[in-house]
């Protein structure tokens, strides 16, 4: 019963505030200014969210105004960024490993770069990249 009374109170307050367009507009403007000042303060103080807020200030302001969980969105963005960096690091590690294997075949077995790539079954679309890393001219297809 108590929650229903509280809900009715909130509904009537909402209706009073937003029934008049001028009230709604002045409330929105006050909220916008307060949120903008809060975001500016957070940026000035620095911290782990300052760079994100600086880059996405307009989005941050609208998120605060509409009650979006900004920290959850920031965490998700950081997780996506970390996943992308991990994918890049993984791909770079594979490339470095392949390059090392190619060099070993070329040095140990006196293979040409093309022969070493054939032995390791390097795909045709990647051969130019490895040839450049090895400092050799790729063979014409």
Predicted local confidence at residue 123, as pLDDT? 94
Indicate the range of 14-28, 66-80, 125-139 predicted with least confidence.
14-28
The pTM of the full predicted model, rounded to 2 decimals, is 0.45
Task: Quote the CA–CA distance of 111 and 59 in Å, as a whole number.
Answer: 57
Q: Is the pLDDT assigned to residue 141 strictly greater than 60?
A: no
CB 50 within 8 A of CB 43: yes
- Structure tokens that stand for 13 in this block: 């307050």
When the pLDDT of each residue in the chain is averaged and rounded to a whole number, the result is: 80
List, for residues 21-66, the tens digit of each pLDDT value.
666 677 777 877 888 888 888 888 887 778 888 888 887 777 766 6
Coil, helix or strand at residue 103: helix
């Amino acid at each position: 019963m108590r929650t229903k009374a509280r809900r009715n109170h909130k509904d009537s307050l909402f209706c009073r505030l937003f029934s008049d367009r001028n009230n709604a507009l002045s409330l929105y403007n006050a909220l916008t200014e307060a949120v903008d000042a809060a975001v500016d303060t957070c940026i000035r103080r620095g911290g782990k969210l300052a760079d994100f807020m600086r880059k996405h200030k307009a989005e941050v302001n609208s998120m605060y105004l509409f009650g979006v969980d900004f920290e959850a969105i920031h965490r998700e963005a950081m997780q996506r960024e970390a996943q992308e960096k991990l994918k890049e690091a993984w791909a770079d590690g594979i490339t470095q490993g392949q390059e090392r294997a190619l060099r070993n075949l070329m040095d140990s077995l006196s293979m040409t770069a093309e022969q070493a790539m054939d032995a390791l079954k390097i795909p045709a679309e990647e051969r130019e990249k490895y040839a450049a890393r090895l400092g050799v001219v790729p063979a014409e297809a």
